[in-house]
Structure 1
Amino acid sequence: MKYLILIHSNPKSRAVWETLTDEQRYAFGKGHLELSAALAESGELVVSEGLVDPSLAKWVSVRDDKTLTSDGPFAEAKEHLAGFYLVECESYERAVEIAARAPDARYGAVEVRPVLDMSTWDL
């Protein structure tokens, strides 16, 4: 089964990041690279990426068959998606174990969500 491990950032986690030394920040980044490598080696990693600052995001909607875009994020948004791991593993428990290995889990929360399997749907 596939699971999406979502790395969120918010003002609290950003404040913690600001207190880290350069050495700790390096270890943080290296931790993500090592986790990705270990999951690739075990065959559980589908893909993993970090995301750029949300100020570079675009919101897209379609109204009256016209594509509309606006700069993101919305002012009221305090939390944003900072990165993700898409893994394929045998159980929810294993996905939680993997999420606990993400460096972000030490400073905040990491979300684990099963991916909806539509392969058996008759569409």
Structure 2
Amino acid sequence: MSEFIILIQGDEKRWNAMSASERAEIDTAHREFRTKAGDAVLASGELQGSATAVTVRRGEDGEPVAVDGPFTEAKEVVGGFYVIDVPDQAAAVALASGLAEARHDHSGVQVQPLVDHSAGETGMSGV
């Protein structure tokens, strides 16, 4: 099995302006995703708005400093995520394709494998 992160990205202004029926469609798709994925879902969550985000970066003195905002250059922000454990990327993409955000014109779903550090692969230090 392999672990993947599914990042749900979209236009925050459009998310905030959704009608009740649009929100219901998305919520239904997430419930269906959870049913299909079952125990493959290792973690998930919906993020609060980007105005609540803090980014930690190297400050002028070389020490980390927390600054307001996610500092994304695009109008799309990450609004939620799933971490899943499935046989391969095709299975991850098949599950992610069922999310409503994959069909809307203001959002998208990114599927990316996680590095398996237990298998001796290298990646970001300390992750």
Distance 1:75 1:109, change over 3 A: closer
Given the alignment of the two structures, is residue 55 of structure 1 paired with residue 56 of structure 2, yes or no?
A: no
Q: Which runs of 4+ in 1 moved over 6 A?
A: none
CA RMSD, Structure 1 to Structure 2 (Å): 2.5
Partner of 1:24: 22
Q: Tell me, in whole angstroms, the C-alpha distance in 2 between the residues paired with 1:73 and 1:56.
A: 9
For normalisation by structure 1, the TM-score amounts to: 0.79
Structure 1 position 30, deviation (Å): 3.1
- Write the mapping of 1:5-20 to structure 2, written as runs, cut at 5 A: 5-10=6-11, 14-15=13-14, 18=17, 20=18
Partner of 1:105: 102
Structure 1 position 33, deviation (Å): 3.0
Q: Tell me, in whole angstroms, the C-alpha distance in 1 between the residues paired with 2:109 and 2:121.
A: 33
Gap regions ≥5 residues in structure 2: 123-127
Structure 1 position 122, deviation (Å): 8.0
The number of residues matched between the two structures is 118
Identity of aligned residues (%): 27
Q: Tell me, in whole angstroms, the C-alpha distance in 2 between the residues paired with 1:75 and 1:44.
A: 30
SS across alignment from 1:94 = helix
- Write the mapping of 1:82-101 to structure 2, written as runs, cut at 5 A: 82-101=79-98
Contact 1:6 1:83 in 2 (8 A): yes
Q: Tell me, in whole angstroms, the C-alpha distance in 1 between the residues paired with 2:76 and 2:42.
A: 25
For normalisation by structure 2, the TM-score amounts to: 0.77
